[in-house]
Amino acid sequence: MDDPSSLKPSWLERIAHLLQREPEDRDDLVEMLHAAFERNLLDADALTMIEGVMSVGEMQVRDVMVPRSQMDVIDISQTPEQFIPFVIETAHSRFPVIDGNKDNVLGILLAKDLLRYYAKKESFDVRDMLRPAVYIPESKHLNVLLKDFRNNRNHMALVVDEYGGIAGMVTIEDVVEQIVGDIEDEFDYDEEEDNIIPGRRGHWRVKGITAIADLNEALGCAFSDDEFDTIAGLVTSRFGHLPKRGEAVSFDGYRFLILRADSRRIHSLQVERLHAESSESAPAA
């Protein structure tokens, strides 16, 4: 006898069924995907990743790189005793090592290679630990870069401008994040006036930085902004912890589903108006 769970269509099969009506263009496809999400044919994770995959091919390195001014680097003139506290504080796994300025990169130091310093302090030389630096142009597309990262087993590249100067750096995590996280706010979702996007069936997609006063005005609700300015702050307080994507909490007649969050903050939520009899105050998984 067939396992009932094996008869349940996967989200890919449900997408294939949804796309039996061929979309006319990219915007039409995006609209269909969001309609599938609102009808619970797709969960937030699947929607985010599909949107991310669609966008990565159009994005360039300059769109996601860490700018030169924000690069955490080590100067070769520093001793391990001087730069190891910085390595611990920033908690990165890789650091460009420079000689005097950021245009003169000698190589990449892996934090794990510093274990050799503790094993043999007297013979440790940072120059011997350096891995070759990889340089790429700002205009390189992310899908090509991701393929290069995978093929070369490299995790970091330095970004150069048209004059050959260092414009910034990019890691494989920066690229992957566009697929599994940060892409949620694409498709004209970055402007201030688009902090609140109405959906079907009484749903709204809301950015975490949205002011509570703005949400009250848009939805006709009356959340207090005495303690918190943003909806992310209010919702986080109700959870009692920083929630992860997929967690939900209901209070004051509304349900808040986390669409995207990282280890520091909530980026976006789905807000749904509840019937009075179903309103709750406790978090739901």
Condensed to tens digits (0 to 9), the pLDDT of residues 170-200 reads 999 888 877 775 434 433 344 444 788 886 5
Listed residue (69, 76, 90) closest to 165, CA to CA: 69
**β-strands 254-261, 196-198 pairing:** unpaired
The per-residue pLDDT for 28 is 74
The per-residue pLDDT for 215 is 93
The per-residue pLDDT for 113 is 93
CB-CB contact of 199 with 34 (8 Å): yes
Burial class (CB in 10 A: 0-12, 13-18, 19+), 123: exposed
The per-residue pLDDT for 192 is 45
The per-residue pLDDT for 234 is 94
The per-residue pLDDT for 104 is 95
The per-residue pLDDT for 169 is 95
CA dist 177 and 99 (Å) reads 31
Contacts 24+ apart (CB under 8 A), 176-180: 176/146, 177/64, 178/52, 178/55, 178/56, 178/59, 178/64, 178/142, 179/48, 179/49, 179/52, 179/53, 179/56, 180/45, 180/48, 180/49, 180/52
Phi, psi of 178 (to 5 degrees): -65, -25
From residue 96, alpha-carbon distances to 46, 103, 106, 281 in Å are: 35, 11, 8, 48
The per-residue pLDDT for 278 is 43
CB-CB contact of 98 with 74 (8 Å): yes
CA dist 59 and 140 (Å) reads 8
Token pair for residue 135?
Answer: 């340089």
This prediction has a pTM of 0.54
CB-CB contact of 189 with 207 (8 Å): yes
The per-residue pLDDT for 247 is 87
Listed residue (215, 213, 61) closest to 142, CA to CA: 61
Q: Which residue intervals of the chain are DSSP H helices?
A: 11-18, 26-38, 44-56, 61-64, 80-90, 115-119, 126-129, 142-152, 172-180, 212-219, 231-239
Q: Which residue intervals of 4-123 are DSSP H helices?
A: 11-18, 26-38, 44-56, 61-64, 80-90, 115-119
Spans in the chain with pLDDT lower than 70: 1-26, 181-193, 199-202, 262-264, 275-285
Residues 95, 99, 104, 109, Cα dihedral to 10°: -20
What is the per-residue pLDDT across 10-34, written as a single tens digit (0 to 9) for each?
656 665 655 555 666 667 777 777 7
